[in-house]
Amino acid sequence: MKISEVAEKAGLTVKAVRYYENVGLIPKPARQQNGYRSYDDSVLPILNLIHRSRAAGFSVDECRELIELFNNPARHSADVHELICQKVEAIEKQQAQLEHIKEHLIALASRCENNEKSTCSILASLTK
């Protein structure tokens, strides 16, 4: 398989696949005579794992941990469970922050004159 083919099968871009190789997430593939990367199917589970966990908000470094667990036959499923739960907590923290900011903005907006004049209590409040 050439790179565009694995990329498409995994739902990734060619650029991304080469990037994951550069940062060591996936092993360096064999090369054809012409220098083209030559993949076999064994890379697909890892690429799928990367694609899905990136989409689920994991950083590339966190993907690395997941891949190590995936590659480790002596892993405990509880370790994977733990990683997922940590991510859920991180997301909840982020949600709380966003909620906080949103409420602040809504409070600002509600005090706004919202008309064609230049007097603006939002700007007044933000520059104080």
Partner DNA sequence: CTTAAACCTTACCCTTGCAGTAAGGTCAAG
Partner DNA sequence: CTTGACCTTACTGCAAGGGTAAGGTTTAAG
Minimum distance from residue 21 beta carbon to DNA (Å): 8
Which residues contact DNA by CB under 7 A? 2-5, 13-16, 18-20, 33-37, 54, 59-61
Distance CA(121)–CA(44), nearest Å, equals 55
CA quadruple 121, 125, 127, 128: dihedral positive or negative?
positive
DSSP symbols for 86-108: HHHHHHHHHHHHHHHHHHHHHHH
Do residues 6 and 43 make contact, with C-beta atoms less than 8 angstroms apart? yes
Point out which residues bind a second copy (CB under 8 A): 45-46, 48-49, 52-53, 55-57, 66, 69-70, 72-78, 80-81, 84-85, 87-88, 91-92, 94-95, 98-99, 101-102, 104-106, 108-109, 112-123, 126-128
Q: Which is nearer to a second copy, 19 or 70 (CB)?
A: 70
